[in-house]
């Protein structure tokens, strides 16, 4: 088993990332080792629960561990305060107290929502996360961010609350749709681009199909990306400096998600376009060699992430990029690469350049 102790300084607490094919069946053991107390409260959804809930429940039953089980409807639209409130009610019904533990079983939506409920119930009770999407295994499960959406903004109500355990079992990804795999790979490519040229090279040698078929290599890269994210988060838990590098591709990516009302692109798909845009900007500003931008482009295509902007209205994208509409396109923060492993943050990208890059992305 590959384990990683995440460094959490504020407030000091422990969080351990465990990754191994088949680890799900060991859940009962892992909970006991981590000295987590019941009653446990499992939160999943109708897509994941019926497939993997039984293994989780059996592992607890084998150890005589008491639990209750609850499902939230599937989808980002349900990551909201109403569902959090419903969870609080069921947590009270189940008699959860300060020592109880919430178990989030699902993708990033379940991780964020169940984590948020745990962070706020009785001013915070422990939770663990069993991420079941690639994106959640390499990204959403690490860093302690938990949140729900508000009709007017995504992730606007939230907190920092680290899971005490993160249990990543690559085998559960066998039922994941291909688009979701590719979306997860966008975050893997992002981490490689900002922090590991050697991982970037490994990815260049393989393809999505290789990792879909070879769970040993998949386990290795999931663990490697988890290490990258945890070291960046450990160095800057509250996103005051280097943690911002994790937003490579996200400035434009978030704008695209917002303009398309989170319906057209999966998160990683939007981030992939954002990384291509950021690479074009860095080349135009003379920071990045065109050959490196080409490698990023090729790698994204290799992992089925060569998506177009199609018919999206350019002005709407620009509007979504502006944090403060009165200030126009100034001060929009971009993470740009000077090279692989060498990111920088700048808010000095000329607005004409942003426009021309969006036009180029539209014409491709």
Ligand X SMILES: NC(=O)c1ccc[n+]([C@@H]2O[C@H](COP(=O)([O-])OP(=O)(O)OC[C@H]3O[C@@H](n4cnc5c(N)ncnc54)[C@H](O)[C@@H]3O)[C@@H](O)[C@H]2O)c1
Binding site for ligand X (CB under 6 A): 45, 47-48, 74, 76, 79, 106-110, 112, 132-133, 135-136, 139-140, 143, 145, 155, 172-173, 175-176, 180, 183, 267
Question: Backbone phi, then psi, for 144, in 5-degree steps?
Answer: 80, 5
Q: Are 232 and 225 in contact (CB under 8 A)?
A: no
In the complex with ligand X, which residue's Cβ is closer, 139 or 224? 139
- Residue 302 buriedness (CB in 10 A; 0-12 / 13-18 / 19+): middle
- CB-based contacts of 34: which residues, under 8 Å, 6+ apart? 16, 128, 164, 165
| Least distance to ligand X, CB of residue 154, Å | 6
| Least distance to ligand X, CB of residue 173, Å | 6
Residue 43 vs residues 95, 118, 255, 319: alpha-carbon distances, Å = 15, 11, 30, 37
In the complex with ligand X, which residue's Cβ is closer, 269 or 297? 269
In the complex with ligand X, which residue's Cβ is closer, 132 or 282? 132
| Least distance to ligand X, CB of residue 45, Å | 5
| Least distance to ligand X, CB of residue 342, Å | 23
Q: Are 148 and 113 in contact (CB under 8 A)?
A: yes
| Least distance to ligand X, CB of residue 137, Å | 9
Structure token digits, residue 93 = 């019904």
- Bridge partner list, 128: 103, 165
In the complex with ligand X, which residue's Cβ is closer, 155 or 351? 155
Q: Are 237 and 9 in contact (CB under 8 A)?
A: yes
| Least distance to ligand X, CB of residue 262, Å | 9
Residues serving a catalytic function are: 123, 145, 187, 229, 239, 243, 247, 250, 254, 267
DSSP states along 301-329: HHTT-----TT--HHHHHHHH-SSGGGTT
Residue 155, phi-psi category: left (phi > 0), alpha (psi -120 to 50), beta (remainder): left
Instruction: Return the residue matching tokens 């860095």.
Output: 282
Rounded Cα distance, 150 and 302, in Å: 35
Residue 34, phi-psi category: left (phi > 0), alpha (psi -120 to 50), beta (remainder): alpha
In the complex with ligand X, which residue's Cβ is closer, 96 or 172? 172
Q: What is the 3-state secondary structure (H, E, C) of 22-63?
A: CHHHHHHHHHHHCCCCCCEEEEECCCCHHHHHHHHHHHHHHC
In the complex with ligand X, which residue's Cβ is closer, 224 or 293? 224
Q: Which residue is nearest to ligand X (CB)?
A: 108
């Amino acid at each position: 088993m590959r384990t990683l102790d995440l460094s959490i300084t504020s407030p000091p607490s422990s969080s351990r990332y465990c990754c191994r094919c088949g680890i799900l069946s060991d859940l009962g053991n892992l909970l006991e080792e981590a000295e987590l107390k019941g009653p446990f409260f499992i939160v999943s959804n109708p897509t994941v629960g019926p497939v993997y809930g039984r293994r989780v429940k059996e592992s607890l039953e084998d150890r005589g561990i008491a639990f209750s089980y609850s499902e939230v409807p599937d989808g980002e639209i349900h990551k909201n305060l109403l569902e959090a409130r419903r969870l609080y009610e069921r947590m009270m019904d189940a008699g959860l107290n300060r020592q109880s533990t919430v178990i989030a079983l699902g993708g990033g939506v379940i991780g964020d929502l169940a984590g948020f409920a745990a962070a706020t119930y009785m001013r915070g009770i422990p939770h663990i996360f069993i991420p079941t999407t690639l994106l959640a295994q390499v990204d959403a499960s690490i860093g302690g961010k938990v949140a729900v959406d508000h009709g007017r903004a995504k992730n606007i109500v939230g907190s920092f609350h680290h899971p005490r355990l993160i249990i990543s079992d690559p085998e559960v990804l066998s039922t994941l749709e291909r688009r979701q795999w590719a979306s997860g790979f966008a975050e893997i490519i992002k981490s490689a681009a900002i922090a590991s040229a050697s991982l970037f090279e490994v990815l260049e040698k393989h393809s999505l199909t290789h990792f879909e078929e070879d769970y040993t290599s998949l386990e290795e890269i999931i663990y490697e990306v988890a290490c990258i994210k945890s070291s960046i988060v450990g160095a800057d838990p509250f996103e005051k400096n280097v943690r911002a590098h994790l937003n490579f591709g996200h400035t434009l990516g978030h704008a695209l998600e917002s303009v398309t009302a989170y319906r057209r692109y999966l998160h990683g798909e939007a981030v992939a376009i954002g990384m291509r845009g950021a690479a074009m900007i860095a080349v135009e500003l003379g920071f990045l060699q065109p050959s490196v931008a080409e490698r990023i482009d090729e790698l994204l295509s290799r992992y089925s992430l060569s998506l177009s902007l199609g018919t999206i209205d350019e002005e709407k994208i620009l509007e979504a990029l502006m944090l403060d509409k009165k200030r126009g396109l100034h001060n929009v923060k971009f993470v740009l690469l000077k090279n692989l492993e060498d990111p920088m943050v700048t808010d000095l990208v000329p607005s004409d350049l942003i426009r021309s890059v969006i036009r180029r992305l539209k014409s491709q």
